Chain A
Amino acid sequence: KAGVTQTPRYLIKTRGQQVTLSCSPISGHRSVSWYQQTPGQGLQFLFEYFSETQRNKGNFPGRFSGRQFSNSRSEMNVSTLELGDSALYLCASSLGWANTEAFFGQGTRLTVV
């Protein structure tokens, strides 16, 4: 079956702009989590959505937001981009809420200039 699909794969944005990233989970999976990965901080949890509701949230400012649709696809939005938001953004799909067995997409590489 198809894996987790993230689009776009690469993105370059200017400081102050906003960006929307998309994630399509594995068919049948109802949970989508988002992570940010930078060389300095490693993999950090942003938030998790399950059944269209945000269930968990990491320690990120309100500029980072997300949503999940009825077909379990998810989007995450970052507003007022800063240089420090440059990172690999990863989406993970799971069957249920807060499952430890998760399947990750290839990520979206965001560069803010």
Chain B
Amino acid sequence: DAKTTQPPSMDCAEGRAANLPCNHSTISGNEYVYWYRQIHSQGPQYIIHGLKNNETNEMASLIITEDRKSSTLILPHATLRDTAVYYCIARRRSGGGADGLTFGKGTHLIIQP
């Protein structure tokens, strides 16, 4: 798995877009960018993933730079329920590392009312 770097914490006002950055400068060509989040005391929740094209689903959008060295997860209209730790993972889609998913410390996103 490629190493990822995320800011430890971020604040965002409720109703605004939350933009969470992730650096993965050593990502290899067959590694995808995955995002998960973990709301306090719950299991991690899969959000979205992408290889090189931008992706959007009902939860979020994922913007990957052209050189694939960084990406941004966008929550378009953040609500208080989006307060969570967000994890960025760069990994093959399947048959990846023998040590499961590596979550790192993630970004603690706090949505302010």
Closest to A34 in B: B100
Query: Could you say which of B42, B92, B101 contacts A102, with CB atoms under 8 Å apart?
Result: B101
Collect the chain B residues with CB atoms within 8 Å of residue A35's CB.
Answer: 100-101
Cβ B46 vs Cβ A88 within 8 A: no
Fill in one digit per residue for B94-113: 1 if any A CB lies within 8 Å of its CB, else 0.
Answer: 11111111111100000000
SS class, residues of chain A in contact with chain B: strand
Residues of A within 8 A of B (CB): 4, 33, 35, 42-43, 45-46, 48, 56-59, 88, 90-92, 96-107, 109
Interface centre among A46, A91, A107 (most CB of B within 10 A): A107
Collect the chain B residues with CB atoms within 8 Å of residue A90's CB.
Answer: 43-44
Residues of B within 8 A of A (CB): 32, 34, 41-46, 49, 89, 91-105
Query: Could you say which of B41, B42, B46, B95 contacts A98, with CB atoms under 8 Å apart?
Result: B95
Q: Compute how far the CA of A71 lies from the CA of B11 in the bound complex, rounded to whole angstroms.
A: 44
Cβ A100 vs Cβ B43 within 8 A: no
Cβ B103 vs Cβ A100 within 8 A: no
Cβ B46 vs Cβ A101 within 8 A: yes
Query: Could you say which of A88, A91, A97, A100 contacts B49, with CB atoms under 8 Å apart?
Result: A100
Cβ A100 vs Cβ B45 within 8 A: no
Cβ A99 vs Cβ B94 within 8 A: yes
Cβ B34 vs Cβ A88 within 8 A: no
Cβ B100 vs Cβ A45 within 8 A: yes
Collect the chain A residues with CB atoms within 8 Å of residue B45's CB.
Answer: 104
